[in-house]
Amino acid sequence: MKLIKILLLSIIGIMSANLSAHAVIEIDITRGNVQPLPIAIMNLAGSADEITSSGSVMDIGAQISRVITADLERSGLFSAIDPRAFINSANATAAPQFANWRAVGAQALVTGTAVLEEDGRVRVEFRLWDVLGTTQMTGLRYFTAPRNWRRIAHLISDAIYKRLTGEDGYFDTRIVYISESGPYLERIKRLAIMDQDGFNHKFLTDGSYMILNPRFSPTSQEITYLSFYNDTPRVYLFNIDTGKSEMLGEFDGMTFAPRFSPDGKKVIMSKAERGNSDIFVMELATRRIEQLTNHSAIDTSPSFSPFGRYVAFNSDRGGTQQLYVMDSNGENVNRISFGNGRYATPVWSPRGDLIAFTKQTGGKFYIGVMRPDGSGERILTESYFEEGPTWSPNGRVLMYYRKYPYDNRGGGGETQLWSIDLTGYNERQVITPLDGSDPAWSPLMD
Amino acid sequence: MKTPIIISVIFHCGVLTFASMDIPWFDSSDVRPMEIIPIEMVDISEVTKLQEIAKLPEPDQEKPEPPKRPERRAEMPPPPPRMQSSMPLPDSANQPAAKPKAPVKRAQAPTISERAKPKPPSRFSADRVAALLNKIPEEQSATDRLAERFAKQEQQMTSLDVRRQTMSISAAIQKKIEDQCWNPPSGALDAGSLKVKVYMYLTLDGELTRAQVEDHTRMNGPLKVAADSALRAVRMCAPYSDLKLPKNMYDQWREVIMNFDPSGMIS
């Protein structure tokens, strides 16, 4: 009898729960407004009385904040709120008054401090806050020599970017490029390096011989490039730390368009001989060379896929210059571009999802992207002449160079570095001391 | 003798359960001719004017008035931040200036004080104190009675009315979130595939009491960023009092599930 009672009560309980459960509305949100995230970046608090070789700690804190602001704004994904709109200059060691930050439209907030340590280093701390969620999203602390404050700013920018976008940042990186100066017929081309925001600029060669096609190693502080040293075009390897360079092999013909493999252990390049050009790969440790293409057409501009399994290149074997993808051993060559015009310089994205390229049609040049199978071609930018796309290490931004036409009075002809993100809207000039061409983006620094 | 009784009870309860779940093949209404529903093309803003569609008979005079709206969120002291970082805040940061009030209490406090309005007693009276104390449960149950009354009104509505109002509520919330508040993350690889389910809990006045993402604690990387963006949208749009969601349908919208799906926007 007891069993029956329990059974009955259980069934009635289940039924009544079922009947009384309230209905719930379920809504699909499928539209939104992709806009830069409003972020408030406070000056890192520091003492004006603590003086270092790079100025007072208060100045260092303010400068770090300015660099972070510039980094994030340049990405196009963030919109920094004007500090003049801040309601309160919060004490960096206390929890923010979130209502005040919400009132000025901030959805994220950066606060922090800079303090001079007894050993002469600077301790830099920052916190990233979710204003609407009233929580701390991340907080990190760095110790460094005061002169490295700019690098710390880039590291903080990367940490904020990663926490808010889910992708690695690209601010703690460098750009190597060809600095150009002088008249058209006597152009001086020097290898130069700078931070991705144009600061800490340095020339690596003196301009006594021409340099072209610099490419960063994805794993080390090494650059490969084409040099006309002794009027013989050859591919070289240059160590940034030591300043030493070495030639990569002796060939009968001319070698050009070098690029590292993703593991940094090989260099793939073109070799031209008797009017024909094919693709070769060299293992750096053994200097063993393997020929990947053997075709009467011109095959050039090879680029490895992120895991080194495929190689994209351009060739005129189909009658016009188009893009092709083959296995890294040279087999299974497939054409991937079929649009009008000529396609050149394919560069595989570090994320592997896209291949950037240069296209020439109708008297103009275009920089675009397509999927590795050739689908989804999208033009990002166009001009009189633009070439040499290079990817940021997170595969979200492209840098390239643009050349302006000469005018009748002998003016014009400038070359400039530009960057654009994958949306195609955030296009910005990268300021260089002289003209610039052929940029190559470094991986994130260690 | 016991076994047939048990079988009979289980069988009957089973039948009742199925009936309560509205299984279509038990519903003879299927064979009735379908009602013709006139469709009128209207502007979305008209559809979302819920206060007009949801107009109900005026409440009886003797019944209590609905509680006053609580203070706006921006005027409240901020809640204390929860520290989730590996770098804890100094002690001072863990001591916010003022404790936040619970939303329900905020809604009830002014009602009690206004309604009680006891005249200052000339001298202490135990009966008066007891009477004052006895009023608290009465006032608290007033809100419940209001919700019950709305529920009864909801029951009196036809299923078509309920369905139409539910759609209007959904459209209003969806429009507000999509037009004003959701900024989908576009930077991540395969950002279009980052779908997030958010549970939103509202008070009768449209204040947001809680928003949470399904499986949030197990999320990381781009999916966590997508979840953050969905939560930001729900919080930024709060309060939802401006939508004037029909109070007689509160049972329908006190908990709202939102599926954030950017696949149509980001390839």
CATH of the domain at A202: 2.120.10.30
Strands (E), A8-102: 25-29, 37-41, 51-52, 55-56, 78-80
Same domain, A138 and A286: no
Residues of A whose CB is below 8 A from B90? 93
Domain of residue B200 covers 134-267
DSSP conformation class of A162: H
Interface test with A, best of B18, B44, B50, B89 (most A CBs within 10 A): B89
How many structural domains comprise chain A? Answer: 2
Number of residue pairs across A and B with CB atoms under 8 Å?
194
| B205 within domain boundaries | yes
Write down which residue in A165, A190, A212 finishes a domain.
A165
Torsional sign, CA A276, A281, A285, A286: negative
How many structural domains comprise chain B? Answer: 1
Same domain, A435 and A370: yes
For residues A148, A149, A154 and A160, what is the CA-based torsion angle, rounded to 10 degrees?
140
* CATH code of the domain containing B265: 3.30.1150.10
Strand (E) or helix (H) holding A355 = strand A355-361
Interface test with A, best of B15, B22, B204, B225 (most A CBs within 10 A): B225
Residues of B whose CB is below 8 A from A139? 85-87
Which residue in B5, B173, B185 is closest to A165 by CB distance? B185
How many whole angstroms separate alpha carbon B245 and alpha carbon A137? 33
| B181 within domain boundaries | yes
- Smallest CA–CA distance from A108 into chain B, residue: B232
Same domain, A135 and A246: no
Tens place of pLDDT for every residue, chain A, 446 residues?
A: 566 666 656 655 555 444 445 668 899 999 998 889 999 999 999 988 998 888 999 999 999 999 999 999 999 999 999 999 998 765 666 788 999 999 999 999 999 999 999 999 999 999 999 999 999 999 999 999 999 999 999 999 999 999 999 889 999 999 999 999 988 778 899 999 999 999 999 999 888 888 898 999 988 788 999 888 888 888 889 998 888 888 887 777 788 889 999 999 999 999 888 888 999 999 989 989 999 999 999 999 999 999 999 999 999 999 999 999 999 999 999 999 998 899 999 999 999 999 999 999 999 999 999 999 999 999 999 999 999 999 999 999 999 999 998 887 767 889 999 999 988 889 999 999 999 999 999 999 87
How many whole angstroms separate alpha carbon B31 and alpha carbon A269? 76
Same domain, A50 and A127: yes
Six-digit token pair at B218? 């197990």
Strands (E), A103-241: 108-116, 122-130, 135-144, 174-181, 188-195, 202-203, 211-216, 222-227, 234-239
Taking an 8 Å cut-off on Cβ atoms, the answer to whether B232 and A133 are in contact is yes
Distances (CA, A) of A305 to A220, A224, A350: 18, 18, 8
Residues of B whose CB is below 8 A from A132? 231-232, 235-236
Residues of B whose CB is below 8 A from A353? 189-190
pTM of the model: 0.74
* CATH code of the domain containing A42: 3.40.50.10070
- Smallest CA–CA distance from A135 into chain B, residue: B81
Same domain, A265 and A394: yes
Angstroms from A18 CA to nearest CA on chain B: 8
Taking an 8 Å cut-off on Cβ atoms, the answer to whether A127 and B251 are in contact is no
Spatial strand order in the sheet of A234-239: A211-216, A222-227, A234-239, A245-247
Domain of residue A66 covers 37-165
Q: Check: CB of residue A19 under 8 Å from CB of residue A25.
A: no
Same domain, A413 and A437: yes
Six-digit token pair at A89? 């200059």
Write down which residue in A112, A147, A165 finishes a domain.
A165
Strand-pair category, A55-56 with A78-80 = unpaired
Q: Check: CB of residue A32 under 8 Å from CB of residue B261.
A: no
Same domain, A89 and A141: yes
Same domain, A229 and A338: yes
Which residue in A7, A29, A99 is closest to B174 by CB distance? A29
Which residue in A34, A93, A132 is closest to B184 by CB distance? A34
Q: Give the model's confidence band at B43: pLDDT under 50 very low, under 70 low, under 90 confident, else very high.
A: very low
Write down which residue in A165, A190, A225 finishes a domain.
A165
